[in-house]
């Protein structure tokens, strides 16, 4: 016997039993994004490696350790995308979407990072991404925080907390970087191996260390807010005032940094205590310099990313209401004449009732065995069609979720009666 092939480590199947979570999240997210005027863009999952080296940053963990990179047959280095923003910027530049224009875009799809798989962190994961281009003020930053808050509200997720910070401009951050470098160099022996490696290359990333032994050292480090110019300070003040005007609670976390080099000024995260160590469910901020870095004209931009698996796990942990994906009706049938008519009859029911989830029994078997499968399917109704019904163009309808009696109706009247029995459930997709 041949050895069975397994899925790749860190790349999981999403089984039908899990799809109710994903469908509920995807449907709700799409409606919320549309409500704010964001349009969907579909991006390739593979790009030239240079895009991520320039866009994400050559000295980030993502590029140094986590890229899935290979040389294609033409000799070019290609990488599976580890995030979506660089690709969205590339597309905007390539197709002339960002020239003297504003854009509000969203996308969803798989991302890839070669990490150690653990709960809430896989090598293939899925993200929603939101990007707005051409808008300079903190008002669009506030809008995106409000949009993410509304998405969580519409999903029924509770207990999240919002942390915000500002990273200033690249020039302000360079001055701050020098101060951080001097501070951590003076305490070099207290740094762990990762932080020692980051010290000369990207000392801001030391602030993101999760090592509890370094907590006091990091807490005493210089704060970026002391290095902000007037414009950055005013931008952050406007952000805070805008969030407060919406009644959204937040905490300023001066140690909040992002693992990607392109962020400027606003950064934020939504955090939960319900998922253990992987507590960030949505992260974002402003990246005003990225479009120019990738070859376009200087264009302000801001956005966020939200992990599908992590939000789905949070929905499951909190028991939020899910879309019902069970069939509305299960059609059981037996007899040569009846079975010959079933395909056309099923199509006519689907034509008459858009949105009807009708599962037609296949594989034969007695009515008794078919009814057992109908019960297990979760259907609300069993539609019964035998040779007697085929002879007089009728259909029997048996409710499966309550004690109402089975009834016989003509095929012509069946769609109206099925719709009446299903009620609102038929229209909730």
Distance CA 325, CA 219 (A): 49
Question: Does 68 lie in the same domain as 113?
Answer: yes
Q: Is residue 22 part of a domain?
A: yes
pLDDT of residue 46: 96
Do 396 and 290 fall within a single domain? no
Identify whether residues 411 and 347 lie together within a single domain. Answer: yes
**β-strands 280-286, 329-333 pairing:** unpaired
Give the end of a domain, one of 318, 351, 370: 318
pTM of the model: 0.85
Task: Please check whether residue 413 lies inside any domain of the structure.
Answer: yes
User: What residue spans of 156-249 are helical by DSSP H?
Assistant: 170-186, 193-201, 215-219, 230-245
Which residue reads 């509200």 in tokens? 153
The CA distance from 338 to 260, in Å, is: 63
Its domain, for residue 302, covers 16-168+228-318
Q: What is the pLDDT of residue 255?
A: 80
What CATH number should be reported for the domain holding residue 401? 3.40.50.800
C-alpha 361/C-alpha 330 separation (Å) is 7
Same domain, 164 and 281: yes
Q: Are 61 and 363 in contact (CB under 8 A)?
A: no
In the 8-state DSSP scheme, what is residue 260? S
Residue 121 and residue 115: Cα distance in Å, rounded?
8
68 and 143 assigned to the same domain: yes
- Asked if the structure places residue 186 within a domain, the reply is no
For residue 118, give the DSSP letter. B
Q: Does 64 fall in a domain?
A: yes
State how far the Cα of 418 lies from the Cα of 429, in Å rounded to an integer. 16
- Locus of tokens 């297990």: 376
Same domain, 342 and 314: no
Q: Is there a single domain that holds both residue 155 and residue 37?
A: yes
As beta bridge partners, residue 383 has: 331, 397
d(CA 151, CA 240): 20
- The answer on 334 and 307 residing in a single domain is no
Given this model, what pLDDT does residue 78 score? 96
Tokens standing for residue 116: 């150690």
Residue 141 lies in a domain: yes
**Would you give the distance in Å from CA 206 to the centre of its chain?**
27
Domain boundary residue among 250, 283, 318? Answer: 318
- Output the tens digit of pLDDT for each of the chain's 429 residues: 678 999 999 999 999 888 889 999 999 999 999 999 999 999 999 999 999 888 776 656 677 778 999 999 999 999 999 999 999 999 999 999 998 899 999 999 999 999 888 777 799 999 999 999 999 999 999 999 999 999 999 999 999 999 999 989 888 888 988 998 999 999 998 999 888 888 888 888 888 787 888 888 998 988 888 889 999 999 999 999 999 999 999 999 988 876 556 778 999 999 999 988 778 999 999 999 899 989 999 999 999 999 999 999 999 999 998 888 889 999 999 999 999 999 999 999 999 999 999 999 999 888 899 999 999 999 999 999 999 999 999 999 999 988 889 999 999 999 999 999 998 888 754
55 CB contacts (<8 Å, ≥6 apart)? 85, 86, 89, 90, 262, 290, 293, 294
Cβ atoms within 10 Å of 400's Cβ, excluding its own: 16
Counting the structural domains of the chain, the total is 2
Look at residues 299, 318, 337 and tell me which one is the last residue of a structural domain: 318
Indicate whether 303 and 380 sit together in one domain.
Answer: no
Percentage of the chain beyond pLDDT 70 is: 97
Residue 149 sits in the same domain as residue 288: yes
What's 128's domain CATH number?
3.30.930.10
Same domain, 257 and 353: no
Given this model, what pLDDT does residue 174 score?
85
Instruction: Give residue 134's region: left, alpha or beta (phi > 0; psi -120 to 50).
Output: left
């Amino acid at each position: 016997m041949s050895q069975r092939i397994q899925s790749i480590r860190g790349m999981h199947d999403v089984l039908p039993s899990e799809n109710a979570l994903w469908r509920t999240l995807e449907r709700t997210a799409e409606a919320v994004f549309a409500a704010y005027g964001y349009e969907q863009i579909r991006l390739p999952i593979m790009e030239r490696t240079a895009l991520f080296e320039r866009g994400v940053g050559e000295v980030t963990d993502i590029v140094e350790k986590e890229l899935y990179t290979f040389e294609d047959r033409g000799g070019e280095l290609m990488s599976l995308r580890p995030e979506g923003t660089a690709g969205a910027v590339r597309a905007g530049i390539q197709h002339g979407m960002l020239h003297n224009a504003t854009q509000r875009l969203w996308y969803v799809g798989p991302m890839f990072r070669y990490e150690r798989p653990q709960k809430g962190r896989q090598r293939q994961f899925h993200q929603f991404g939101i990007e707005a281009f051409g808008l300079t003020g903190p008002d669009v930053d506030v809008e995106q925080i409000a949009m993410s808050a509304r998405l969580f509200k519409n999903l029924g997720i509770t207990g999240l907390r919002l942390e915000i910070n500002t990273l200033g401009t690249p020039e302000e951050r360079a001055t701050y970087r020098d101060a951080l470098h001097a501070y951590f160099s003076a305490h070099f022996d207290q740094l762990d191996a990762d932080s020692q490696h980051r010290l000369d290359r990207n000392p801001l990333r030391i602030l993101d260390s999760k090592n509890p032994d370094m907590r006091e050292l990091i807490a005493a480090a210089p704060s970026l807010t002391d290095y902000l110019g007037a414009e950055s300070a005013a931008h952050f003040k406007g952000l805070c005032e805008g969030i407060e005007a919406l009644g959204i609670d937040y905490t300023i976390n001066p140690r909040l940094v992002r693992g990607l080099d392109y962020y400027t000024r606003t950064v934020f995260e939504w955090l939960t205590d319900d998922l253990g160590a992987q507590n960030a469910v949505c992260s974002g901020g402003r990246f005003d310099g990225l479009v120019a870095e990738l070859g376009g004209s200087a264009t302000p931009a801001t956005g966020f990313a939200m992990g599908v698996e992590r939000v789905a796990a949070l929905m499951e942990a909190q028991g939020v209401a899910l879309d019902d994906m069970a069939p509305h009706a299960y059609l059981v049938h037996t007899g040569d004449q009846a079975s010959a008519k079933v395909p056309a009859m099923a199509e006519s029911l689907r034509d008459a009732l858009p949105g009807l989830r009708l599962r037609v029994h296949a594989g034969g078997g007695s009515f008794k065995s078919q009814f057992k499968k109908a019960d297990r399917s979760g259907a609300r109704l069993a539609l019964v069609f035998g040779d007697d019904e085929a002879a007089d163009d009728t259909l029997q309808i048996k409710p499966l979720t309550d004690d109402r009696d089975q009834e016989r109706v003509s095929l012509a009247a069946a769609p109206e009666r099925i719709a009446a029995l299903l009620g609102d459930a038929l229209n909730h997709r």
